[in-house]
Structure 1
Amino acid sequence: MSSNVAKISGWLLLGSLVLSVVSALTPLRSFWAGIPVWLAAILLLPCVKPNQKKQIVALLLIGSLCLIFGVIHGMSGQYLLTALEANQKVINMLIAVGFLKLCTGAEQRAPGMLPKGRRALLRTLLGAHLFGAVLNMSSVIIVGDRLAKHEQITPVQGLLLLRAFCICAFWSPFFAAMGLTLVSAPGSQLSTLVLFGIPVSLAGIAVSAWEILRQPSAKELHGYPMAWDSLWMPCFLALVVIFAHEAFASLSVLTLVSVTSVSFTALWLLLNHGSRAGSQTMIRHIESGIAGSAGEVVLFAAAALLAAGVAGVLTSLDLHLAPAHFGYIEAGITLLILVVLAMTGMHPVTSVVLAGSILAPAVSDPNLLGLTLLMGWSLGISLSPFSGVQLSIQSRYEISAGTLLKLNWRYALLMYGFCFTLLWIYTRMT
């Protein structure tokens, strides 16, 4: 990617972020914030990895054909505006959360002796999970590269990195999974999704800890030198977003996450580096760091086009594919379908958007659908050899997809059972 493309796309996406926040506070229509996203997506598409590019082009073609079909059959113009929005709130949240990487110096810590043994692995699992809840994929790279400097990462350590990251999708407000779920299941509430997502996360961590620590090699493996006093940031930011959502219910969670992330980063840089150095750091990130999310930006935009097209076709033809009743059994079936789709290589962005566009109009309890989508995202990326995090671990640390699959299938079965049980409990409590 050329520096000019990175710089222009970075400022375009920052402009979209500003317009998105302005539209949340004023009568400005939100689709205006989608225009810079599409311009950036056009610039970034040639820079996307070949495998991901194929899926993106397919989404763009199918979505465009569906919109054309819908227009011919009298589809409402609202679906065209929805496509123009380009999932801008989710993309802007992703961009805003990326600024938080500037607040962690974990990757610059001086190399030294790594802690070893089961206790060190457990601390790494918990710490990497909390880091990942806010820093997303960056946490996997930070922790993984530090371990790889000491020795070749083993499959057990790779499994630890994978689980610590994937479990975040059950509950984290800073995860793209939560952002897209709140859009795909309109009416779902962050507080409810987090409240029921945390028990699933705890179960996932418990199962992962049991699997990892019982490995014969666990007592000889090294963990990350996790400093617990540095974990205040993810906990603090998550609480700020949750309480801010209760105080400003009219603002979307995605907007609150975006504002909180950028504001916190700016304040942190100001206090630690001063106004001049802090500003320069922010500008460098805008002109080079934001473009690192090229794949996600283009994929989310393409998914928005697909969702608008599918919804437009279903509406124009008066088709109803959703079941007449969406209870825990239907939620469990949907969850299984999402995992199967992930195993075929379909990105969770695509499957969640499709499930939302088909099911949301007929679902009476959007929180039930939201929980199902979050569970499908987490289990799908943890099990599928084609998920972004798995591909990163496979290529970066030379761990085969088959090895991770062998280590993951029991976890997937256990967690599917736990998720299904929680969905049943939720329906009995509401």
Structure 2
Amino acid sequence: MGLKGVFSGWLLFLGLILSLVAGFTHWIPGYYAGIPIWIASFLFFPDVRPAQKKQIIVLLALGGTGLFYGAFHGIEHQFFIRALAANQVVVYMLIAVGFLRLFAVDEMRQQERLPQGKWAIIRTLFGAHLFGAVLNMSSVVIVGDKLANKGKLVPTQGLMLLRAFSICAFWSPFFAAMGLTLVSAPGAQLSTLVLFGIPVSIVALLLSAWQLAKRPDVEQLLGYPITLYSLWMPALLAMIVMASHHFWPKISVLSLVSLISLAFIGLWMSITQGRIGIRKIRHHIDGGIASSRGEVVLFSAAALLASGVAALLSSLNIDLAPADFGAFEAGMTVIALVILAMTGMHPVTSVVLAGSILSPNASDPDLLGLALLMGWSLGITLSPFSGIQLSIQSRYAISAKTLLALNWRYILAMLVVCLLMLWLYTCV
């Protein structure tokens, strides 16, 4: 990326500061923080993967057409403001959480001896899940590369990494799924989504552990040496976020996550490594932020799509949402999101579309939010085109066909679990 990457990194870091100022003080409008995202997206676009680039072009074309049509039919300026904002709170949350990779590299790589056998694989599943809940895709790369250094990863290990990561989407406040869901289902409460998401994730982890334990090669496989001590960081940050949201409910959860992540890594690196730690933070701004270019461009394009769809529907007075959004409709939304994922549609796109169509008539935004999270998690687990699957397929040479064969029974079982949880939610 060179100088372009350095410039974009510092530009987005400035945008992150603007976003935090807007979120905590309201001294400036939040959409000001979207301007650096659009500039960086323009610079990043040539370096995005070809397959993702095509999808982004489609999103921009559809969103732009909707806004253009709405502009000639007297739509309110809020649709243009929403597009300019470029999902800024979600993008900057991902960028802020990305700094936590500096902690992960130092802490998770200290141990060299790798445990072996069924229980090592199961412990790695749960440990990588907790790290992934905070560190996102970084946890998959760190754990996967460590295992790959000892020999080629086999499908069982690839399945473990996939499940550990994708199950995070059910509940993690640090995950892109939660960030976009809170934006796409206005009024949804983090505490409610986490309260009902964690039981689903526990069932998913236990089911995954049972399936992994039955694999014929599990006793010969190496796991990652994750200990209870090494998990203190994700547990601490999750508790701080939940407590902060309780005491400051009017502050966006995404802004809280961003500030807490930045404050933690700044204090940790300064205290433990001094000037070297500060240099590592600067180095991350120079090059690490640019590694998220695909997500930055995709989220800005999705913001334009959401605004364009909403503007088009508003100008045409079309209401596609069902009159009543209950457990059945929420379940159908989950199934639809999984089907869309199988066509290659990114969950960012499908969640934005579902939110734009359903949120105006969804009397209970928490129910919609749960459906969006469930559809995201199951979709990225099953779809050969999801970002996590593509990473595992290309980085560790595990075929999409193999992962699909290992996942379809899990998806059917978890669909039943999700539908039951949605029904239970409407009963309490």
* Same fold, judged at TM 0.5 (above): yes
Q: Contact 1:107–1:146 at 8 Å: present in 2 too?
A: no
Letter in 1 for 2:57: V
Question: What is the percentage of aligned positions where both structures have the same residue?
Answer: 59
Post-superposition offset of 1:248: 0.5
Q: Deviations over 1:158-194 (max 9, x none)?
A: 0000000000000000000000000000000000000
Q: Deviations over 1:309-349 (max 9, x none)?
A: 00011111111000000000000011100000000000000
Query: Secondary structure, in 3 states, of the residue corresponding to 1:150?
Result: coil
What's the counterpart of residue 354 of structure 1?
Answer: 353
Query: Secondary structure, in 3 states, of the residue corresponding to 2:359?
Result: helix
Correspondences of 1:208-247 after superposition (within 5 Å): 208-247=208-247
1:287 aligns with 2:310: no
- Quote the Cα distance in structure 2 between the aligned partners of 1:167 and 1:108: 23
- Quote the Cα distance in structure 1 between the aligned partners of 2:143 and 2:281: 24
Post-superposition offset of 1:219: 1.3
- Quote the Cα distance in structure 1 between the aligned partners of 2:107 and 2:210: 27
Could you tell me which runs of 5 or more consecutive residues in structure 2 were left unpaired when the two chains were aligned.
Answer: none
- Quote the Cα distance in structure 2 between the aligned partners of 1:226 and 1:264: 21
Q: Deviations over 1:128-179 (max 9, x none)?
A: 0001000100110111111111111110110000000000000000000000
Q: Deviations over 1:39-72 (max 9, x none)?
A: 0110001110111111011111111111000111
What's the counterpart of residue 109 of structure 1?
Answer: 110
Q: CA RMSD in A?
A: 0.9
Query: Secondary structure, in 3 states, of the residue corresponding to 1:322?
Result: coil
What's the counterpart of residue 121 of structure 2?
Answer: 121
What's the counterpart of residue 163 of structure 2?
Answer: 163
Q: Contact 1:120–1:224 at 8 Å: present in 2 too?
A: yes
User: How many residues get paired?
Assistant: 426
Q: Contact 1:106–1:142 at 8 Å: present in 2 too?
A: no
What's the counterpart of residue 319 of structure 2?
Answer: 320
What's the counterpart of residue 94 of structure 1?
Answer: 94
Q: Contact 2:347–2:380 at 8 Å: present in 1 too?
A: yes
What's the counterpart of residue 60 of structure 2?
Answer: 60
Post-superposition offset of 1:355: 0.3
1:196 aligns with 2:196: yes
1:329 aligns with 2:331: no
Post-superposition offset of 1:217: 1.1
Post-superposition offset of 1:110: 5.6
What's the counterpart of residue 406 of structure 2?
Answer: 407
Letter in 1 for 2:358: L
Letter in 1 for 2:99: F
Q: Contact 2:136–2:175 at 8 Å: present in 1 too?
A: yes
1:40 aligns with 2:40: yes
- Quote the Cα distance in structure 1 between the aligned partners of 2:390 and 2:87: 25
Letter in 2 for 1:314: L
Q: Deviations over 1:364-384 (max 9, x none)?
A: 000000000000000000000
Query: Secondary structure, in 3 states, of the residue corresponding to 2:223?
Result: coil
Post-superposition offset of 1:111: 3.5
What's the counterpart of residue 262 of structure 2?
Answer: 262
- Quote the Cα distance in structure 1 between the aligned partners of 2:361 and 2:108: 47
Post-superposition offset of 1:279: 2.0
- Quote the Cα distance in structure 1 between the aligned partners of 2:180 and 2:351: 8
What's the counterpart of residue 421 of structure 1?
Answer: 420
What's the counterpart of residue 393 of structure 2?
Answer: 394
- Quote the Cα distance in structure 2 between the aligned partners of 1:230 and 1:108: 10
